[in-house]
Amino acid sequence: MPLPRLTPGDRLEQRRHGGRTCAQALQERFAQLRPTPVTARKVGFTTKIKKMSQEVTQCLTYVNYGMLTLFGYFRDYLRKSGLETTHSAIERKKMKDFVPLYQSFESFVTRNIYMRIRDCGNRPICSVPSAEFDVLEMVSDDGNWHLRLTGKSRRCVNVASYNYLGFAENTGPCADAAAKALQQYGAGVCSTRQELGHYSIHEELEQTTARFLGVEDAVTFGMGFATNSMNIPALMGGKGCLILSDEKNHASLVLGARLCSTVIKVFKHNDMEDVERKLREAIIHGQPRTHRAWRKILIIVEGIYSMEASIIKLPDLIRLKKKYGAYLYLDEAHSIGALGQTGRGVTEYWGVDPRDVDIMMGTFTKSFAAAGGYIGGSKRLINYLRAYSHSTTYACSMAAPVAQQVISSMKIIMGEDGTNRGQLRIKQLAANTKYFRQRLVEMGFIVYGNDDSPIVPVIICMPAKIAAFSRELHQQNVGVPVVGFPATRLMESRARFCLSAAHTREMLDKVLDAISDVGDRLQLKYSLNPTTKAASAEECYKQVDSLAHEE
């Protein structure tokens, strides 16, 4: 039964009873006098055990890193003394007069920690990276310093590639259209957009992209990384500008910001209070030394953060940028195609107007299974980038077959091919995401990120378990990347599962069974509160089935 609204007399009682009214204090006292059921005592005891287990895990993680560091220094001593049998990490004698390469702690980590698990992240594949792929087997005779192929391959379920909508195919309408474009235009363009590398198919791609995003115009580039790193300097050239960057932003965004002659301030990840605090300080104090007003303030964020699987709080950010007169740069590399009812990204997910975002950036390498990137916005902005961006001035244009792959997949998503295949893929991805995440939480794993994110990070913690987790899943025909320090925080080593519309429920069940088995053996089920809520996933699968019947 809800408590009535507080009166002034109740507030006076709150001061007397430590922030509680008399009624609330009595209710708490009676609750303390009630006998505790046996089940509640058991649950409380279990919770204490699990909390103690978490603390032990944290301590063991620090001990694990400490032991790896100590053994690393010991092995460096053995190398220096000539007692180490593996000579790959030893500098040649004829280089003794040069400055040593192995001085920094980064090289120490590479030699003594990364090399131990190098085989978990350098596995070549020899097939289309669809729902399943063929992974080549490798062995090493010198502690992973040199990896050699055995000539064998293993068929694995692919939960590693960013193939969100399942367009990574070598058959079907997209592949056929790309093959026709290859016959018509050839494999390469061999020129920049400002010279003779401007094809009609590039114009069609940009018009289709602008229509898909709901903006006035768009410009495309041949490389996704360069879309950020080469265009941010063009947008923020000159002094007197300020960039506010999320601490979890991608390396391409960080590089692009550093290439500008501007001041960069980093705010806490997805923390709108910190963003507003830094905006206020920037407006109040102005530029360093002169205290003049900033010419431009640009806020740089991502739609979905690939390592954290978190979704940007876009409505709050738009409110702040309007309130303080800043510009907003949104990187939708992972969110475009993967979020929203029709796959139009984080703007559709939050129900905001795309025109409220000043610079909409994204890549074609994930949901569209191609290459390159785009920037969408006003015609004035896009015309400026076409003239002054390094990517259009100096970089080679996007290959015609790649452009056709994007056009075909984008038209399927929008339903312009006359079918509902695009909508079916979007619904399938949403259902797979909810089902996979819910099952992992039920098993007792710590899962990071938003419930609607198709990227699913599972916390491993201990560095020694990173390689074991990857190798054991590989033996059970599951391909997944693992990430540890310094790419993550010291305590947050993780496996990163990427879901796709191409995955069937049977494939996901196979992966989940393997994860549960390996998680039990490695004791990775750290969660204190595993929950059960599979209803929403079942509803999504029902929608997928109904769409499939319509098709």
Cα dihedral value 128, 130, 136, 138, nearest 10: 130
What confidence tens digit (pLDDT) does each residue in 399-413 have? 999 999 999 999 999
**Strand ranges of the sheet holding 147-158, from the earlier edge strand across to the other edge:** 132-140, 147-158, 478-479
Give the CB-side neighbour count of residue 161, counting CA atoms within 13 A. Answer: 32
CB 221 within 8 A of CB 373: yes
Query: Does the residue 352 lie in any domain?
Result: yes
Residue with token string 């075909």? 408
| The pLDDT value given to residue 78 | 87
Give the amino acid at 434.
K
For residues 394 and 321, state if they share a domain.
yes
Query: From edge to edge, which strands make up the β-sheet containing 455-459?
Result: 455-459, 494-498, 482-483
Q: Are residues 154 and 229 both part of a single domain?
A: no
- Same-domain pairing of 210 and 322: yes
* Amino acid at the residue 9: G
Among 414, 440, 469, the domain-final residue is 414
Among candidate residues 424, 422, 421, the one with its CA nearest the CA of residue 544: 424
- What tokens does 504 get? 């069937």
Q: What is the pTM of this model?
A: 0.85
* Predicted local distance difference test score (pLDDT) of residue 196: 84
> What pLDDT does 549 receive?
61
Can you give the CATH number for the domain in which 332 is found? 3.40.640.10
148 in the same domain as 89 = no
Q: With b meaning 16 or more CB within 10 Å and e meaning fewer, what string describes 401-415?
A: bbbbbbbbbbbbbbe
Q: Which residues of the chain have pLDDT under 70?
A: 1-53, 87-91, 100-103, 529-537, 543-544, 547-551
CATH of the domain at 146: 3.90.1150.10
Clarify whether residues 325 and 180 are in a common domain: yes
User: Cis peptide before 401, with omega less than 30 degrees from 0?
Assistant: no
User: Same domain, yes or no, for 236 and 144?
Assistant: no
CA dihedral 280, 284, 288, 293 (to 10 degrees): 100
- 222 with 338, same domain: the answer is yes
Question: How confident is the model at residue 482, as a pLDDT?
Answer: 94
φ and ψ of 434, to 5 deg: -65, -45
CA distance 16 to 10: 10
Determine the structural domain holding residue 287 and report its residue range.
173-414
pLDDT of 311 reads: 96
Q: For position 530, what pLDDT does the model report?
A: 67
Last residue within a domain, chosen from 414, 433, 458: 414
Instruction: Kindly report the backbone phi and psi dihedral angles of residue 18, in degrees, each rounded to the nearest multiple of 5, phi listed first.
Output: 65, 45
Chain segment 215-270, per-residue pLDDT in tens: 999 999 999 999 999 999 999 977 899 999 999 999 999 999 999 889 999 999 99
Looking at residue 76, what is its pLDDT?
A: 84
Question: What is the pLDDT at residue 61?
Answer: 87
Alpha carbons 236 and 246: distance in angstroms, whole number: 17
Q: Determine the pLDDT at residue 449.
A: 92
Q: Do 86 and 135 have their domain in common?
A: no
Bridge-based pairing state of the strands 241-246 and 359-363: unpaired
For residue 43, is it within any domain?
Answer: no
CA dihedral 364→369→370→373, nearest 10 degrees, is 10
Reduced to 3 states (helix: H, G, I; strand: E, B; else coil), residue 217 is: strand
- Take residue 468 and report the two structure tokens written for it: 């074991």
Taking Cα atoms as reference points, which of 144, 148, 149 lies closest to residue 113? 144
Residues 361 and 440 grouped into a single domain: no
The pLDDT value recorded for residue 277 is 96
Question: What would the two tokens of residue 26 be?
Answer: 């009595």
Domain count for the chain: 3
